[in-house]
Amino acid sequence: MNKPSSLSLAVLGIGMMGLPIAQRLCAAGHRVQVWNRTRAKAEPLSTAGAIVHEKAADAVRNADIVLSLLENGPVVADVLFQQGAAAAMHPGSLFIDMASIQPREARDHALRLQAQGIACLDAPVSGGTVGAEAGTLAIMVGGVAADFVRAQPVFAALGRATHVGPHGTGQLTKLANQMIVGITIGAVAEALLLAAKGGADMAKVREAISGGFADSRILQLHGQRMVEQDFAPRGRVNVQLKDMRNALATADELGFEAPITALLKQLYTQTAEHGWADLDQSALFLELARRNGLAK
């Protein structure tokens, strides 16, 4: 039996983030329709109460709110405007794009959807699969304030949402987040490898600087992965690289120079080129280790 406050929702894109997000929405009592290009990845959600569809258009047809967790901006545009999802959504519905895309793409999608009477928020997230599973995601939202208020029952099941400005600024905030994450992973990896090169125990170095000014979630989580050589994917190198490229493209549009991001983009590119694209983003450590003769 559904809760009185339940909404009719659709989730497009059932991957590493889409799966736990859809599970949490089902657990919150919402009526959830789901679609994924590879249907098998969405099938486990049927046991949580979701209805799995063959086509994105069928999943969104009766939804009050549609959430997108697709791969990138061109894929979002294709699903919305080529595969018929936008045409199938009813006027007055709300599209929440939680994918990480370029701000200009988010603004373009919002304009096209608004022309069809569909409201839109860009709402990328930070916190990874751990945050998605726990409902502790940081959600960065761009769009109209009234639409942000309307989305609160959805955001409440997923984490902490902050309205940062008009369309596109949610994506801009996510790029800022990913710049900090990517750059800090590089700083932690380089520092730990320098310590190892000089004969120190990386695990003890990490322990020694914890709690000081150099401490951070990156040092705690990614630093531990580096110490343990555990690069099982949570957030992948190729996704981090995509975000760095998007950040630089946006900086170029704004006439903003971002030399630190540019350097890290090169390092993540080389990490991917050496076969580590599908590993956790902390695998940047492997590229820096290779350069310094410390690779195992």
pLDDT band for position 123 (cuts 50, 70, 90): very high
pLDDT in tens, 190-206: 999 999 999 999 999 99
Q: What is the mean pLDDT of the chain?
A: 95
Say which residues have a Cβ less than 8 Å from residue 198's Cβ, sequence separation at least 6: none
Quote the pLDDT of residue 234: 84
Q: Quick check: do 8-166 and 173-291 share a fold? A: no
Question: Hey, what amino acid is at 111?
Answer: L
Name the DSSP class of 90: P
Instruction: Identify the CA nearest to 181 among candidates 118, 121, 225, 244.
Output: 244
What backbone torsions phi and psi does residue 148 show, to the nearest 5 degrees? Answer: -60, -45
Classified by CATH at the fold level, domain 173-291 comes out as: N-(1-d-carboxylethyl)-l-norvaline Dehydrogenase; domain 2 (1.10.1040)
Residue 3 clears pLDDT 50, i.e. is over it: no
Name the DSSP class of 8: E
Residue 226 clears pLDDT 70, i.e. is over it: yes
Question: Which sign does the torsion angle of CA 191, 193, 195, 197 carry?
Answer: negative
pLDDT in tens, 246-286: 999 999 999 999 999 999 999 999 999 999 999 999 999 99
Kindly name the residue from 3, 55, 174, 197 that is annotated as catalytic. Answer: 174
Quote the pLDDT of residue 6: 85
Residue 186 clears pLDDT 60, i.e. is over it: yes
What's the mean pLDDT in 160-189? 97
pLDDT band for position 1 (cuts 50, 70, 90): very low
Sorted by where each begins, the domain ranges of the chain are: 8-166, 173-291
Cα separation values, 125 from 169, 177, 199, 287, Å? 13, 9, 39, 27
For residue 65, the cross-strand partners are 9, 94
174 is catalytic: yes
Q: What share of the chain is helix, strand, coil (3-state, %, to 5)?
A: 55, 15, 30
pLDDT band for position 4 (cuts 50, 70, 90): very low
Rounded Cα gap, residues 163 and 84, in angstroms: 29
Quote the pLDDT of residue 222: 97
Residue 203, phi-psi category: left (phi > 0), alpha (psi -120 to 50), beta (remainder): alpha
Q: Does domain 8-166 have CATH number 3.30.1130.10?
A: no
